[in-house]
Chains A and B, each alone.
Chain A
Amino acid sequence: MNRISILALTNYNMKINNLHISSLNQLKEINFNFTFPNGHPRAGEALDKVCFIGQSGTGKTSLLKVIGGIIERGFRRKGYAYQIAVESADKSLRLTVDNSIKGIAVGHIFQNNSSRNVTNDKLNDEYIKLVQECNPLIIYMPANFLSKEIGKSDDINKMEESKVYSFTSENIQSIWHKILDDIKKHKSHEIEIRTKIQELSKVSDLPAKAIKDILNDLYDELSRLEEVENNPLKKIANECLDIVLSNFKLRVDTKFSVTENLDTIDFIRIIDKNDNPVPNGVLSTGTLQFILSSLPFYLLKPNNTIILFDEPERSLYPDIQKMLVNHYNKFTNNSQFFYATHSPIVASCFDPWEVFELKFNNEGNVYIEQYYEGDRHVNNYKIHPKYLTYELILKEVFDVKNTDGDDRARLLTELIMLEEKLKQFKLDGDNTSDSFKTTMEEYQRIGKLLSWPVKFD
């Protein structure tokens, strides 16, 4: 029987502090403690960010989907049964549900020191009350979200009541429509003013002074719209995209263009360092990934939101990967991120209590590698990704022990042998013989190949 339980800490914010899965594919009786450990100033509170790592097939993406599914659909999640408990931050309200019996949700509500049982429908009502203040409720970025075609028309009304921004869904166009609504309104307004200016120049039956006054007002309005604080596109450029696009020698084009298509993302135009436009169709996959993943966070301003992000590192160079977690986080408020990653660079941005390494045991079931010894206390963690080099993260966190590669190992052995020979030459007082010179040249040659600091101790 599949059974999933979530303990959620909430004060109309949906920070999940515990997830228990009894059985879901290869995940059996597995418990995720998403709270700060003992000894931490925020001990017991839900974590702000979580990072799932593990070999392919260990269930990282499934976990994101499970969390998203339960939070999105409340207690009517179909397809599997689960247990769920939601608790307010002040502990005055706690809602637990056992939906592990097929089709029947048995609920228990503890409120103001009293408790009562509830039925299916009332359970859902209570759940809705808990999440209604969250806006948006969920943002879900799947690993393949770039492959979702943007620009096809679909029913925008579908999004009107939804607080779920899942980039897996069919109505992807509606999601972007909603995200970019402010910019489109601004652009529409700008076009409207420019049209009026054009039309006014054709009007001959108004006094010249009147025309001049109207034109002045319209130009003032245009100037006002162009100011950074009133121009969402300039704000996107300044506050969200340009700081990273500069790494790609690109920036957002904030100048007005009449060729813009307000029905697609294309009206956020990118230009190169010489102001040449770079059409979205020829932007690199990494650049597009960065732009399309940043915009929802910046424009939706997530507040009390569960954010699920699968493989944020996709197509991105290491230096950009390094800044992703902080980049996304700065646009959110009181939200909780769940990342799934294969990137040691992304993993290096997390404290050890935020990292959940999923591994297979001999029976093929998944377990969580425990990073602490003894009590779950900040002082008892033996692995700290933030303190490790990337090589050590590969070795210690990702269990890739052979980071050198066989070719390097072979050459390194030669280099060490040559180094020992040089020491012998030194002991013998020989620094002029042909043999010494040959050895030194070879040592330096191999040293360069290995990026080895040449030493003369």
Chain B
Amino acid sequence: MRFITKTLTLATKYKQWHDELQKDNHPLYTSSSHKHYYSIVANLLSVQGGVCAYTEAVLCSPDTVSIDKWVDGEFQRFDCFGQLDHFDPRLKENNGWLWDNFFVIHTDINIKEKRSNIVTHLKPDTPGFSISDYLDYNIEHHIFYPKVDLDNELQQSLLNDIDYLGLNHGTIVYMRKMSLMPFLTKRRYNSLTDEEAKSQLYQFFTAYEMAVEKVMALDN
């Protein structure tokens, strides 16, 4: 999970419509059947770099939503592994089309029981947000965990956030492990430079950053 600069510059038709919405009086959220749904998703994927806002699992190539694919501030229906998520589920009912509350996330972590909970700390577009302030990464099991120097209350709260956001969801952990291990192994034995690894990496950027440091220290 990395900081996201959530500019709304591509989906201009949605922006125009959105800016005229009355607070706490949004039209009913109707998911993918709404005329702006795919424009919102495409704009978000553009600012998210084609990956899930929380897990950084790849959802589409960034080229899929590049500026040349837009027509008059709108984006046509398209296929990707992602779904639109309301970060704060309480806002869904009356402010269901609020841009600030939207992220595109991997389908497998969009679990209703999980996503109906309140995430208290890990919102990736919070100004100054840095995941390393909160979480650490275990390179043996490829899971995120609360930093051990935080106080217990915050740790418990972060354990909830990790759970609700699906950061250690089984599917994601397996994908992350299988995706990163070749890079980390090559880095460990110096058959790949850090620059080369980063240029080839297309998902799980934060996990790589956290893991590679530990991997390189293994043999010292």
Q: Residue A93 at the B interface, CB < 8 A?
A: no
Whether B174 lies near A412 (C-beta < 8 A) is: no
> How far apart sit A405 and B162, CA to CA, in the bound complex (Å)?
14
Which A residue's beta carbon lies closest to that of B108?
Answer: A402
CB distance from A26 to the nearest CB of B (A): 20
Q: Residue B29 at the A interface, CB < 8 A?
A: no
Number of B interface residues, CB 8 Å? Answer: 24
| Other-chain contact of B170, A404, A414, A420 (Cβ < 8 Å) | A404
User: A390-423 CB contact bits vs B (8 Å, 1 = yes)?
Assistant: 0000010000011111101110111011001100
Which B residue's beta carbon lies closest to that of A422?
Answer: B148
Whether B138 lies near A409 (C-beta < 8 A) is: no
| Other-chain contact of B141, A405, A412, A414, A421 (Cβ < 8 Å) | A412
Given contacts A416-B143, A417-B155, A420-B145, whether A409 and B175 have CB atoms under 8 Å apart is no
Q: Residue A362 at the B interface, CB < 8 A?
A: yes
Which A residue's beta carbon lies closest to that of B149?
Answer: A424
CB distance from B120 to the nearest CB of A (A): 16
Interface residues on A, range: 10 to 19
Whether B141 lies near A416 (C-beta < 8 A) is: yes
User: B57-96 CB contact bits vs A (8 Å, 1 = yes)?
Assistant: 0000000000000000000000100000000000000000
> How far apart sit A401 and B163, CA to CA, in the bound complex (Å)?
17
| Other-chain contact of A413, B111, B145, B148 (Cβ < 8 Å) | B145
For A401, the chain B residues whose CB sits under 8 A away are 108, 170-171, 174-175
Which of B144, B145, B159, B169 has most chain A Cβ within 10 Å?
Answer: B145
Whether B79 lies near A413 (C-beta < 8 A) is: no
Q: Give chain A's interface secondary structure class.
A: helix
For B173, the chain A residues whose CB sits under 8 A away are 404, 409
Whether B170 lies near A403 (C-beta < 8 A) is: yes
Whether A406 lies near B159 (C-beta < 8 A) is: no
> How far apart sit A254 and B145, CA to CA, in the bound complex (Å)?
61
> How far apart sit A409 and B109, CA to CA, in the bound complex (Å)?
13
Whether A362 lies near B79 (C-beta < 8 A) is: yes
CB distance from B153 to the nearest CB of A (A): 14
CB distance from B170 to the nearest CB of A (A): 3
CB distance from B219 to the nearest CB of A (A): 16
For B50, the chain A residues whose CB sits under 8 A away are none
For A420, the chain B residues whose CB sits under 8 A away are 136, 138, 145, 148
For A404, the chain B residues whose CB sits under 8 A away are 170, 173
Whether B144 lies near A402 (C-beta < 8 A) is: no
Which A residue's beta carbon lies closest to that of B138?
Answer: A416
CB distance from A8 to the nearest CB of B (A): 40
Q: Residue B168 at the A interface, CB < 8 A?
A: yes
User: B144-167 CB contact bits vs A (8 Å, 1 = yes)?
Assistant: 111011000001000100110000
Q: Residue B114 at the A interface, CB < 8 A?
A: yes
For B168, the chain A residues whose CB sits under 8 A away are 409-410, 412-413
> How far apart sit A416 and B174, CA to CA, in the bound complex (Å)?
16
| Other-chain contact of B159, A362, A402, A405, A414 (Cβ < 8 Å) | A414
CB distance from B202 to the nearest CB of A (A): 18
Which of B136, B171, B175 has most chain A Cβ within 10 Å?
Answer: B171
User: A214-249 CB contact bits vs B (8 Å, 1 = yes)?
Assistant: 000000000000000000000000000000000000
> How far apart sit A406 and B143, CA to CA, in the bound complex (Å)?
13
Q: Which residues of B contact A (CB under 8 A)?
A: 79, 108, 111, 114, 136, 138, 141, 143-146, 148-149, 155, 159, 162-163, 168-171, 173-175
The 10 A-B residue pairs with the shortest CB-CB distance, nearest first, are: A402-B170, A404-B170, A401-B171, A417-B145, A402-B171, A416-B145, A420-B148, A409-B168, A416-B138, A421-B148
Q: Which residues of A contact B (CB under 8 A)?
A: 362, 395, 401-406, 408-410, 412-414, 416-417, 420-421, 424
